[in-house]
Chain A
Amino acid sequence: MSTASVEGPSEPQLGVGAALIEAALSPVRGIFSYIGEHALLLWLALAALFRKPFRLRLFLEQMEFVGVGSLTIIVLVGFFSGAVSAQQAIAALRIFNQERFVGATVGLSLAQELAPVFTALMIAARAGSGMATELGSMRITEQIDALTTFAVDPVQYLITPRIVATVLMMPIMTMVFNIVGLFGAYLYAIFLEHIDLGQFIEQFTYWTDPKDYIIGAVKSAVFGVTLSVAACYQGFNVRGGAKEVGLATTQAVVAGSVSVLVSDYFLIDIFHILWPYKS
């Protein structure tokens, strides 16, 4: 009796303590596990890149899917993003009577931020969702198992080309976004706001450097890694049926977009330490 009365209260206290520690550690463990599994998939995909057989056709198909397939949406979004940026910049600069800086403002923000980030978000929504759906469908219909039965490494066959194609196409699509966005800003500023063309070009060429475009290109390549790994991971690991494929597609877009925005914050910090803004 006495033993029971002493041990009785102590057990729940220990249980609560353990539960609290577990509750505190669980999200941390979850985050590390999440990052670790994605990193492992990336590692396996990269290791497979240097192993025979090399299937160039698969890489070209994926580059076509990620790049050419996304061209229309990138051009559309790029044009209006540039035009809207010019509109907002002019509205703000007009307070100081400095509208002539619109070319520089839009050029800089497009090169370093808007073009890589918006391109990445568009690719995550279009190509990332497509990747997750296709891989998920292949998983639930046993097509991935079928590959394995033919002694084909599914990571090398399916994941490596998608990641490499996205990484290669992202900087190209970002440049397309830059050019079209600047064109949109130019049309709005020159024809609707009657900004002087010479000043628009002069301020743009003075304030923007090749390094701004290099930063944008490097960032977009990193976004290409994060969004394609997120999409491939979600699709490749689907278990269940059509509902789970739909869920994986949603997760791919959400995870891809979040990974782009989070990595953008850290990348821009790193780049500003390496290459401070011109003053």
Chain B
Amino acid sequence: MTAPPSGSGDFSKRDERWQIRVRGLQKTFGPQHVLRGVDLDIERGRTNIVIGGSGQGKSVLMKHLMGLLKPDAGQIWVDGEDIVPLGTQQMGRLRRKFGMVFQYAALFDSMNVVENIAFPLIERYHLSRGEIMERVRDLLKRLDLAGVTGIEEKFPPQLSGGQRKRVGLARALIDRPEILLYDEPTTGLDPVAAKNVDEMISRTADDFGVTSVVISHDMASTFRIGDRISMLAGGKIIVSGTSEEVLASRLPELREFVETSGVAAAAAGAHP
């Protein structure tokens, strides 16, 4: 098992292995001390999963990675750049590195599928309609959505849960981000749809070469797709490592989480 990362070395240089480094992150909402000094390293080009129970601050942590929230204390480096002190404009530039897939896709209700996917391009560049449509259709094909009848003109309420996730992923991918953040991607899906989403995440990581950060409490999914797993509990990362290393941990919080989820045996089988 790898110990949770700690220390405060010089992270102001781009590191070939670690794309995002978080140290001593703290966040309080009123009386709630949600993050109590999070240390986390995100590995470049791999699928990094942060697990933890409900209300442990996983989504809060993810929002910090993208600069949607400012921490009370602590630092976050993305490719060697400390993002905490960045202003609105600089943060806007930094966010182009990121794509985010929201828990329930967060598609814009007033726009159809094409308008949703093309939104980042329309907002950021002056591309012709032809160029935009070419990129949208390419993504629809790569995410197995091109075969759905009339998909381009459909509005979000007309899509199934799985289709919505894919359209959300397409929107996150359209501007070719380096880092993809997934917030509870399998929540609300049946086991088959959840497995499909897992495959989609793995394939996206391979096909597009992106760094994936997945926030999840779905242990089955975690052990299926995770290259590196970290557990958030009590406002801190208590363990980080490969799935084998995490499974071998004797930490009571982790043991309880793994055993309750009922995937320990399956995961052990998958990673002998």
Contact = CB atoms under 8 A, between A and B. Distances in A.
Contacts of A146: 100, 102, 106, 108
Interface string A143-161: 1011011111100000000
A142 B66 CA distance: 15
A143 B106 contact: yes
A143 B98 contact: no
B108 A150 contact: no
A141 interface: yes
B123 A152 contact: yes
Contacts of B99: 149
Given A142-B103, A143-B108, A146-B108, A151 B68 contact: no
A150 B104 contact: no
A257 interface: no
Contacts of B96: 151
Contacts of B119: 150
B106 A141 contact: yes
A145 B102 CA distance: 9
B95 A142 contact: no
Contacts of A152: 123
A148 B109 contact: no
Contacts of A105: none
Contacts of A148: 68
Q: How large is the interface on B (under 10, 10 to 19, 20 to 34, 35 or more residues)?
A: 20 to 34
A153 B256 CA distance: 42
Contacts of A137: 109
Contacts of A141: 104, 106, 109
Contacts of A138: 109
B92 interface: yes
Contacts of B106: 141-143, 145-146
Contact of A151 (B63, B92, B109): B92
Given A151-B92, A152-B123, A142 B104 contact: yes
B178 to A, nearest CB: 14
Given A142-B102, A142-B103, A145-B102, A150 B109 contact: no
A148 B102 CA distance: 12
B215 to A, nearest CB: 13
Nearest to B88: A153
B66 A149 contact: yes
A143 B66 CA distance: 16
Contacts of A150: 95, 119-120, 123-124
Contacts of B100: 146, 149
Interface residues of A, number: 14
Contacts of A149: 66, 68, 95, 98-100
Interface in B84-131: 88, 91-93, 95-96, 98-100, 102-104, 106-109, 119-120, 123-124
Nearest to A143: B106
Contacts of B92: 151
A142 B106 CA distance: 5
A149 B171 CA distance: 11
Contacts of A53: 123
Contacts of A142: 102-104, 106
Interface string B122-165: 01100000000000000000000000000000000000000000
Interface string B42-72: 0000000000000000000001001010000
Contacts of B66: 149
A151 B86 CA distance: 13
Contacts of B88: 153
Contacts of A151: 91-93, 95-96, 123-124
Nearest to A53: B123
Contacts of A145: 63, 68, 102, 106
A141 B103 CA distance: 9
Residue with the highest number of chain A CB atoms closer than 10 Å, among B91, B106, B109, B119: B106
A68 to B, nearest CB: 17
Nearest to A144: B106
Interface in A112-154: 137-138, 141-143, 145-146, 148-153
A150 B95 CA distance: 7
Nearest to A140: B104
A101 B207 CA distance: 80
A53 B124 CA distance: 10
Contacts of B103: 142
8 contacts: A141-B106, A142-B102, A143-B106, A143-B107, A145-B102, A146-B108, A150-B95, A151-B123
Given A143-B106, A150-B95, A151-B123, 16 more contacts: A53-B123, A138-B109, A141-B106, A142-B103, A143-B107, A143-B108, A145-B63, A146-B100, A146-B102, A146-B108, A148-B68, A149-B68, A149-B95, A150-B120, A151-B91, A151-B93
Interface of A: 53, 137-138, 141-143, 145-146, 148-153
Q: Which 8 A-B pairs have the closest CB atoms?
A: A151-B92, A142-B106, A146-B106, A149-B100, A142-B102, A150-B120, A151-B95, A143-B106
